Structure 1
Amino acid sequence: MIEIRALIGLLHLIGLYKSSHVHVNDIFSPDGTGLDICRAVMSVQRFKFLMRHLRFDDLNTRDERKAVDKLAPMRELIEEFVQASQKCYSVGEYVTLDEMLETFRAKCAFRQYMPNKPAKYKIKIQALVDARLFYTINLEVYVGVQPAGPYAVENSTTAVDTKRMIQPISGTGRNVTMDNWYTSVPLAEDLLTQHNLTVVGLGLRYCPKKNKVVLLLSTMHNDASVNEGTPKRLPEIISFYNSTKGGVDVVDRLKLNYSVARTC
């Protein structure tokens, strides 16, 4: 277990140096161009061996588990990560709810095909993130319709997804910032009355298009106060939305820039 923890630590360190695409032999190079700490922890041969043989799933029971769960190969790992994230940190008073798209080329029943994107196959992940410090407090991989069983969840509306995502902060008085994919009046009212959470959301999908009218919904703001500190004297609700809307987008950029993913 100590060696596996050391391996995970090295992967994070390599990601910190933005070297996830650097050849492993160059990272462990002894000529002064590599990362000396990597060679101090383990040899390059041992690093390659662990990377090639490390698995997070039991192949012997995979088919049985996949019969009731499309996410079976990764379910336990993801759930433990989310539980640890919630246990180790208490998010601030403002959080952001949005979706991320993770590039994924391997065969997968629930990957999304996006012909207009450079990477055409992606997996959709919904995330709840601290709007100021960009810490992920909850996430859920979208797998579509699950087989009947313990992992079947309702995905009929975004309101259902939202109520599931906000469970870790339900009743805490925090604010959730969301875009027009999630925003609705019934949802905002329900989160306020049933979960003690305020909402600041961008527009509604059935309202005027972009560049025509800027429409926001808020159960946090009670008046039309203007932020005098902005050049355009923006309404306070717009200034607040702009300052808290990008939490998930920042996480998306950070995990791309400091990726720990490696083929070896």
Structure 2
Amino acid sequence: MNSLVQDDGFEYLANEEQYQSWITPFDQPIGYLGEKELSNANSPLDFLSLFLSDEFWNLLVIETNRYAHQFLASHQLQPHSRFHQWSDVTVSEMKAFFSLHLSMGLVEKSELEDYWAEYWPTATPGFGKVMSRNRFEMILSFLHFTNNEEYVDRGQPGYDRLFKIRPIINLVIPRFSAVYGPSKQLSLDEMTIAFKGKSTLKMYNPNKPDKYGYKVFVLSEAKSGYVLQWSMYTGQNRPNGDFGATHLVVRELMAPYTGKGHEVYMDSYYTSPAIADELANNDSGLCGTVSSNRKGMPKGLTREQLPLSKGDDPVFMRKGKLLACAWHDTKRLTMLSTLHSNTCVRKRIRTKHTDSGYREINRPVCVDDYNSFMGGVDTADQRMKTYLFPHRSRKWYNRIFNGILSVSMVNAHIIYCRCTAAPHKPLKVFVQDVISALLEGFSRKESNKGRKSSSLGDMPQRLTERHFMCQADGKPDCVVCSDRTHPKGRRQTKYMCRQCGVGLCVVPCNERYHTLKHYKKCHLDG
């Protein structure tokens, strides 16, 4: 190491140093850790059950029924309220409810009731065969995860802002790290659970695709995106001390993986010399972008002290295990790493400013690795939102529950791909298999049946074929709006459907006859 000038304990590096990594070689098992359930894990539902166990389903049934009885006992219902028909939900019915819940992420419609609509071009008759719309909406209204009678008021000892969803968090989230051993490289970032309703936990971030929602700190496997740790930001006061809130977040998320030779990649929101030193002392590496004005960073790498232009060579400084780097490519970048030396790699990248369309740059190895391993949380976020339950809810905790359910589904698919021989089912087929498995052994209760939904095979030909209007011979009655049983109820028309051979008014009866199963319009309705 050829040192030049010292700056706050950091030394400039002039020549390429021969740097020996201090991290213990990573020899941890990668993939499934061998829980007892693995011997029976054959289907997609078996892998999802690693997180959504029998205890999970029993909790949903007990708390949903409890909340329904509490609500019915404390409210005076309207005479025509659907809640008069409430009957306690069972485990098999709850699984059927969530099979429809997951199906709505595969077939997105604008309104919840559209899944039970009979308009034939967009009909989804399978929903009505599983559960009536009234029953689905009743379960959704009473869906609950905790006993309201145990709520502790704000300001009292034991108050919890996540009280409504805490049992699900405590039951599901620890299973993520318990059943899976990650590879060496980890990624730490944040997710946003989109929500625009009223909630004191909701935040606004204009730089995110979902600008309004809940902030969740996530630690994931860098390559696969498997979520290992999940911690929701509640805005509560952090303990006083020398460390900032983000330092404590990294410490909390990395606690199960320190001392095992892991490498964690993070952005400038979390990276600091203090957390890098702490992880290094616990045999864990760190690499990430960092603000040059962070406490403990050398002043010589700030913009004022070190102006850099595009194409300039990177500047490195070292302090013990810490390596700081300043580099300007498309924009100014400052890196902090305990994993790398000051070596660079020659990269050929695209540009519009040369005749060949390419230019060569010296990219620091720490930047190259950061680009390779930083996107784990973004990968998980993208996959979980592909088939997320699409409909809004006024209840803030339902949205968080949907997020946890989606993360569980993505994690189950990753373990399935690790534990089964190729070719693997894509996530969409995996979700479809889970839906089918949840419906096994369930039959819709006759007492809960509403009007039968029609399948496409039952649709009359007038709803499925192409039709053209033509001028009729004479003036036949319109089959939609004409009704001779009422005085002055007869309606004649000059037009008819060529294919169906019936008289029809051009507007609106033609459209009504060819789109509605029950098309007849009473004369008294106009």
Scaled by the length of structure 1, the TM-score of the pair is: 0.80
In structure 2, the residue matched to 1:81 is: 172
Count, aligned residues: 256
For residues 40 and 221 of structure 1, the distance between their equivalents in structure 2, rounded to whole angstroms, comes to 59
Q: In structure 1, what is the Cα distance between the partners aligned to 2:211 and 2:347? A: 44
- Corresponding residue for 1:160? 248
Amino acid at match of 1:240: D
Aligned with residue 333 of structure 2, among 210, 214, 225: 214
The separation in 2 between residues aligned to 1:242 and 1:33, in whole angstroms, is 43
Shift of 1:8: 2.5
1:98 is matched with 189
- The aligned counterpart of 1:149 is none
What's the secondary structure of 1:165's corresponding residue?
Answer: helix
| Residue equivalent to 1:142 | 233
Residue 82 of structure 1 deviates from its aligned partner by 1.0
Residue by residue over 1:194-249, the C-alpha shift from the partner in whole angstroms, topping out at 9 and shown as x without a partner, is 2x221111133516468553222222223504165867453322121112222223
Partners of 1:145 and 1:205 in 2: how far apart?
28
Partners of 1:18 and 1:257 within 8 A in 2: no
- Contact map agreement 2:187 2:377 (CA 8 A) in 1: yes
8 Å CA contact 2:202, 2:214 repeated in 1? yes
Aligned partners of 2:188 and 2:377 also within 8 Å:
yes
Cα distance in 1, alignment partners of residues 126 and 256 from structure 2: 37
Q: How does 1:118-197 map to 2 (within 5 A)?
A: 121-145=212-236, 156-194=244-282, 196-197=283-284
2:364 alignment partner AA:
P
- Find the aligned partners of 1:208 and 1:127 in 2 and give their Cα distance: 30
Alignment partner of 1:200 is 2:291: no
Amino acid at match of 2:252: R
- Give the TM-score normalised by the residue count of structure 2: 0.43
Larger deviation, residues 69-78 vs 21-30: 21-30
Label 1:172 to 1:104 Cα distance change in 2 as closer, same or farther (>3 A): same
Distance of 1:88 and 1:14 partners within structure 2? 28
Q: Are residues 84 and 44 of structure 1, via their aligned partners in 2, closer, same or farther at CA, if it must alter by over 3 Å?
A: farther
Residue 250 of structure 1 pairs with residue 340 of structure 2: no
Q: Counterparts of 1:13-28 in structure 2 under 5 Å? A: 13-15=103-105, 17=106, 19=108, 21-28=109-116
**Distance (whole Å) between structure 2 residues aligned to residue 106 and residue 37 of structure 1:** 31
Distance 1:35 1:172 in 2: 50
Q: Distance in 1 between matches of 2:285 and 2:209?
A: 37
In structure 2, distance between residues paired with 1:109 and 1:24: 27
Q: In the alignment, is residue 53 of structure 1 matched against residue 142 of structure 2?
A: yes
After TM superposition, the structure 1 stretch with the greater mean CA deviation from structure 2, 198-207 or 170-179, is: 198-207
Paired residues of 2:246 and 2:270 also in contact (CA < 8 A): yes
The alpha-carbon distance between structure 1 residues 164 and 47, as it changes in their structure 2 partners (threshold 3 A), is same
Quick one: which of 64, 72, 95 aligns to 1:5? 95
Cα deviation 1:131-171 (Å, max 9, x = unaligned): 2111211111111225xxxxx76684321111001123222
What do the CA deviations read for 1:70-114 (whole angstroms, capped 9, x no partner)? 222222212322112223333222221112233323332232245
Which structure's CA Rg is the greater one? 2
Closer/same/farther in 2, CA of residues 168 and 118 from structure 1, 3 Å limit: closer
Q: Bigger shift: 114-123 or 36-45?
A: 114-123
Structure 1 residues 142 and 42, CA, compared in 2 at 3 Å: closer, same or farther? same
Contact 2:111 2:391 in 1 (8 A): no
Q: Partner of 2:132 in structure 1? A: 43
SS class of match (1:248)? helix
Q: 1:124 corresponds to which letter in structure 2?
A: K
Give unpaired runs (5+ residues) of structure 2: 1-90, 294-300, 304-327, 351-359, 394-526
Once the two structures are superposed, residues 169-209 of structure 1 have per-residue CA deviations (whole angstroms, 9 ceiling, x without a partner) of 22222211101111112211211222x22111113351646
Seq. identity, %:
26
Between 26-35 and 248-257, the greater mean CA deviation after superposition: 26-35
**1: CA distance, partners of 2:207 / 2:226:** 30
> Against the structure 1 CA distance between its residues 97 and 120, is the aligned structure 2 distance closer, same or farther, given a 3 Å change threshold?
closer
75-84 or 56-65: bigger deviation = 56-65
Partners of 2:216 and 2:254 lie apart in 1 by 15
Residue 28 (structure 1) shift: 4.2
* CA shift in 2, pair 1:253/1:35, >3 Å: same
C-alpha spacing 1:161/1:118, structure 2 compared with 1 (3 Å): closer
1:13/1:133 Cα in 2 relative to 1: closer, same or farther (>3 Å)? Answer: farther
- CA-to-partner distance for each residue in 1:104-130, whole Å, 9 max, x for gaps? 233322322457878664322111122
Unaligned runs of 5+ in 1: 147-151
Q: 1:25 to 1:230 in 2, by over 3 A?
A: same
Equivalents in 2 of 1:137, 1:225: separation in Å?
32
Letter in 1 for 2:134: Q
Q: Give the SS at the match of 1:199.
A: strand
Structure 1 letter corresponding to 2:369: F
Q: Secondary structure at the match of 1:72?
A: coil
